Structure 1
């Protein structure tokens, strides 16, 4: 079976696992869903499937709940204790303390329930009344070559809070996927968490078994931490799909925005009006999106314009048709034309919004970022950063540029303190705790101690210290002449950032596909962080296909770069991550 068909059918396995949980009570039941879980669940199963599996009614989790009567109730939430506590409190309000019904209340936790969930139930005397279930759905196939676990807060948990609790579900997701696609013979892991995940997969194989497939659909597997290549998430992207995520925010491959009248932000600043849109970022469903998703944005409007003219031509032609031609047109082409018209309208509105929201600062921002990547004009770049606090008045934009400068040009202690003081003054001291997250993520160093204790003055980094420009030069990530990159017909993966930068995952995949000697691969990658290379007689690659597992979120810009590499090399690349993110999403986690 074609690997794309396999990946798009993974939801059937997830359905079977959910069905097994729902049938622990065979009666007609109610389901209560946490709002954030609705979209991913729609990718797993629809309302029709739930109805066929005994679900009578579906509710959204709110502050208060209706009386469910004698119906069994299944709550479905993500692994977050605050949400779990809300569910428990709702259930307690409905329980007859003297004569509680058995097998009535169930809580399904995605991807798994945590130990302190059980502790909470034991302390409240509800352990036998509320049944806990873990559900880890298989990766969701969002589009050709894109798999996502759609798990929130993985970046925050691992990289900001330094909490390992989600390493096990991340490991299980890959181990379970091996039973479908086979385990690749050549594996590269880069980063602390990637190596821990590989170690946990080894334990799972030892304890629960391995895939019985002799050959994998993928010649190699790359597991890499998000912090190994922050610039790919922090830089302003140039492709259509990436800009959609920047401006609208894409959830589980769906771009939806409903018009909100008279909305202003909390600081009473004017908000640029966004056009209402609703479409799925799936090139198999939307032929217009398939054509423009990876194009550089300046080319998108001209493509949409050409498609609009084509529609007008069809309309004129249909007026001149004979009766039998009209009949044939209605039967075979009319529905497709209507769908195409709807797609074009949505993308036209989205493109207009992108221009309105990003237009004023887009070119200036890219020029500053280009200077940062060239390691020039540091003082000018820092001045622009401080000015942006007032001119942009957008906390995500400012913090994102600050993080990019920290990763690349390395700000000194006075510059860091100056920016942070102005940031808090501009956006509020409620964000003061984010300073600790910046340290944990290794964007900024721990403040030096004033005591005479030498050990207190030395900061041991959480991750290996990397010299950005040395490594970027080693991997040829920064093209010497960005202005010579053809953005209309690109042949260099740097086009996703206007010719300024090539994502690291693309360069690693390119090394594997071009059969770069293993010793050279180890030497180059070893300077970035903790590295592990496993070669079970699988190199040079027996199959020109690569599975990339990005821990902490992948971006649409990185995916577009991989798509171009596929075209240039004739290979197959699939990107898997816990979530598809933008730089704004990472900053939102930082400030939450």
Structure 2
């Protein structure tokens, strides 16, 4: 079976795992979902399947208890201590301690529960007799052709910002479960400390809990990379349609949805607030032929494609008026519904394109120019001036902080530059965000202050960051991630993955996949990328790939821009690249993790 067909059927395994848990209560049951689980669960099994497995009513987890009845009650939540305590409080408020109903309550924790959950229930006298706790880790959700996501929230902030390793076993188990479907590749490359940790735990899973019996792997090589190894690809403003869509709208589990709502006309700085068009788009090439055509195109080409499609619809409408009666009848029976559906798709994408232009158009070209200057380490003073301008005019702290992080990585800001920016940032967006400086340092964006210094006391001696800005620039140059002349990169018919950033930068995962597919010697690969971080390489039958399918596993989130770069690479090289991550993200999501307290 083709590997894409296998990956698209992974949800069947997830359904079997969930049905085993639900079958513990053979009669009718109610399901109460944490709101962030609703959309992923729709992609995993759907409401119809749940109804077929005995779920009578489905509720969203609220502070108010659902109506009481005799059904068994299943709660499904993420691994979150606060949410777990809310659920326990609800259960206690509904339970008759003197005459409890045995096994009436079940708590399903995604992806896994910890011993602290069971300990708390045991202390309250609820464990086993009244409440049972289950772990449920669904298989990776197949969002689009060759794109898999675990849909786990907060992996980046847990690992890279707060250095909490609780989610690492789930990331390793995913790889272990997947190996039973697609096998174990002969060539494995892991870059970054968390990627090495995932690979080590994966091998322990295979040793202790059983190894796959597949003799031939569907994947020739496995590349595991930490998000921190290439922050640049997340921080740069992308140029392809799918990536820009995720920058402007909220995309969850491959669904871009915006409902019509009343919004304020001006923001806090009296900037006009541009309204986002209401729409619903499924970012799946198999379900939306228009999206399949335009998702990886540079945005300037998207509008012309949509314009041509609109003209075709108008022509079809005119032709239908000139049809004879039997032709009209045949048209209604065979083509009308398809035409209506196509019209709806085009309308959605036109509204999305209009919103992208309205929200990003006024600063896109200037922003792209500044970002290219930064990664090429040129025009430092002009870059600082633009950063200050953005700080004064933008009402979104993530946008300003994102550009500052890119500047910090590539142009080595001095102590005074960092102090000046952070002081102005706190004045603009609130001193309650002072803690975030420590998060920036932990994640490796800025130099870390001396132990005696705090977020607001940056006068002390600064230690070196995890990787100096000059090293980021040198590494990008050594890995040929910076094309010599961005203006010569063809954006309409691209032949270089850098097109997604206007010809300015090639994502690291695309460059690594290119080296593996080109059978670059392992010694040369080591020499080029081991300076970035902890590197592990294993090859069992030499580096010449027998199977030109590469699985790339990004720990900490992957962007639609990186996906587009890899899609182009597989077309150019006649290969197949499957991308797996814990979540599809944008640079703004990384900044949100920096600016948010741990959950």
- State the TM-score, normalizing by the size of structure 2: 0.96
Evaluate the alpha carbon distance shift between residue 316 and residue 450 of structure 1 in structure 2; reply closer, same or farther with a 3 A threshold: closer
Q: Distance in 2 between matches of 1:313 and 1:426?
A: 53
What SS does the aligned partner of 1:93 have? Answer: helix
Is residue 193–residue 226 contact of structure 2 (8 Å, CA) maintained in 1? yes
The C-alpha deviation readout for 1:525-562, integer Å capped at 9, x for no partner, is: 11111000000115211111100000000000000000
Deviation, 1:448, is 2.9
Q: Which residue of 1 aligns with 2:121?
A: 121
Deviation, 1:383, is 2.0
Q: Distance in 2 between matches of 1:445 and 1:344?
A: 47
Evaluate the alpha carbon distance shift between residue 371 and residue 192 of structure 1 in structure 2; reply closer, same or farther with a 3 A threshold: same
Q: Which residue of 2 aligns with 1:509?
A: 513
Q: Which residue of 2 aligns with 1:30?
A: 30
Q: Which residue of 1 aligns with 2:443?
A: 441
Q: How does 1:50-129 map onto structure 2 within 5 Å?
A: 50-128=50-128, 129=130
Deviation, 1:450, is 6.9
Is residue 219–residue 547 contact of structure 2 (8 Å, CA) maintained in 1? yes
Is residue 303–residue 353 contact of structure 2 (8 Å, CA) maintained in 1? yes
Q: Distance in 2 between matches of 1:136 and 1:464?
A: 38
Q: How many residues align?
A: 588
Deviation, 1:122, is 2.4
Q: Distance in 2 between matches of 1:461 and 1:497?
A: 26
Evaluate the alpha carbon distance shift between residue 116 and residue 466 of structure 1 in structure 2; reply closer, same or farther with a 3 A threshold: farther
Is residue 191–residue 224 contact of structure 2 (8 Å, CA) maintained in 1? yes
Deviation, 1:46, is 1.1
Q: How does 1:447-526 map onto structure 2 within 5 Å?
A: 447-448=449-450, 459=463, 467-526=471-530
Is 2:306 the counterpart of 1:298?
A: no
Q: Which residue of 2 aligns with 1:255?
A: 256
Match of 1:536 among 540, 546, 550: 540
Q: Distance in 2 between matches of 1:466 and 1:159?
A: 21
What SS does the aligned partner of 1:313 have? Answer: helix
Deviation, 1:323, is 2.1
The C-alpha deviation readout for 1:421-471, integer Å capped at 9, x for no partner, is: 1111111112111111111101112213679xxxx9785866799801111
Deviation, 1:263, is 3.5
Is residue 449–residue 457 contact of structure 1 (8 Å, CA) maintained in 2? no
Is 2:209 the counterpart of 1:208?
A: yes
The C-alpha deviation readout for 1:139-169, integer Å capped at 9, x for no partner, is: 0000001000000000000000001111100
The C-alpha deviation readout for 1:251-294, integer Å capped at 9, x for no partner, is: 10000001111346873744210000001001101110011000
Deviation, 1:32, is 0.3
Q: Distance in 1 between matches of 2:505 and 2:421?
A: 26
Deviation, 1:331, is 2.1
Is residue 466–residue 527 contact of structure 1 (8 Å, CA) maintained in 2? no
Is residue 235–residue 403 contact of structure 2 (8 Å, CA) maintained in 1? yes
Q: Which stretch shows the higher mean deviation, 228-237 or 469-478?
A: 469-478
Is residue 398–residue 592 contact of structure 2 (8 Å, CA) maintained in 1? yes
Deviation, 1:517, is 1.2
Deviation, 1:119, is 2.4
Is 2:156 the counterpart of 1:155?
A: yes
Evaluate the alpha carbon distance shift between residue 560 and residue 116 of structure 1 in structure 2; reply closer, same or farther with a 3 A threshold: same
Q: Distance in 1 between matches of 2:266 and 2:66?
A: 33
Match of 2:570 among 562, 566, 583: 566
Q: Distance in 1 between matches of 2:405 and 2:10?
A: 37
Q: Distance in 2 between matches of 1:463 and 1:37?
A: 36
Q: Distance in 1 between matches of 2:195 and 2:473?
A: 23
What SS does the aligned partner of 1:166 have? Answer: helix
Question: What is the Cα-based RMSD across aligned positions, in Å?
Answer: 1.6
Q: Which residue of 2 aligns with 1:394?
A: 396
Deviation, 1:350, is 0.3
- State the TM-score, normalizing by the size of structure 1: 0.97
What SS does the aligned partner of 2:250 have? Answer: coil
Is residue 32–residue 74 contact of structure 1 (8 Å, CA) maintained in 2? yes
Q: Distance in 2 between matches of 1:538 and 1:285?
A: 40
Is residue 548–residue 576 contact of structure 1 (8 Å, CA) maintained in 2? yes
The C-alpha deviation readout for 1:331-382, integer Å capped at 9, x for no partner, is: 2211111111000000000000000000111111111101101101112212
What SS does the aligned partner of 2:537 have? Answer: strand
What SS does the aligned partner of 1:522 have? Answer: helix
Deviation, 1:589, is 1.2
Q: Distance in 1 between matches of 2:428 and 2:226?
A: 32
Is residue 464–residue 528 contact of structure 1 (8 Å, CA) maintained in 2? no
Q: Which stretch shows the higher mean deviation, 426-435 or 578-587?
A: 426-435
Is residue 223–residue 549 contact of structure 1 (8 Å, CA) maintained in 2? yes
Q: Distance in 1 between matches of 2:383 and 2:284?
A: 38
What SS does the aligned partner of 1:532 have? Answer: strand
What SS does the aligned partner of 2:251 have? Answer: coil
Evaluate the alpha carbon distance shift between residue 268 and residue 56 of structure 1 in structure 2; reply closer, same or farther with a 3 A threshold: farther
What SS does the aligned partner of 2:215 have? Answer: coil
Is 2:177 the counterpart of 1:173?
A: no
The C-alpha deviation readout for 1:222-249, integer Å capped at 9, x for no partner, is: 0000000000000000000000000002
Is residue 79–residue 109 contact of structure 1 (8 Å, CA) maintained in 2? yes
Q: Distance in 2 between matches of 1:134 and 1:467?
A: 42
Evaluate the alpha carbon distance shift between residue 530 and residue 524 of structure 1 in structure 2; reply closer, same or farther with a 3 A threshold: same
Gap runs ≥5 in structure 2: 454-459
Q: Distance in 2 between matches of 1:382 and 1:459?
A: 22
Q: Distance in 2 between matches of 1:327 and 1:578?
A: 49
Deviation, 1:328, is 2.0
Match of 1:426 among 428, 432, 451: 428
Deviation, 1:85, is 1.1
The C-alpha deviation readout for 1:180-215, integer Å capped at 9, x for no partner, is: 001110000000000001100111111011110011
Q: Distance in 2 between matches of 1:164 and 1:283?
A: 35
Q: How does 1:228-267 map onto structure 2 within 5 Å?
A: 228-263=229-264, 267=268
Gap runs ≥5 in structure 1: none
Evaluate the alpha carbon distance shift between residue 265 and residue 54 of structure 1 in structure 2; reply closer, same or farther with a 3 A threshold: farther
Is residue 190–residue 535 contact of structure 2 (8 Å, CA) maintained in 1? yes
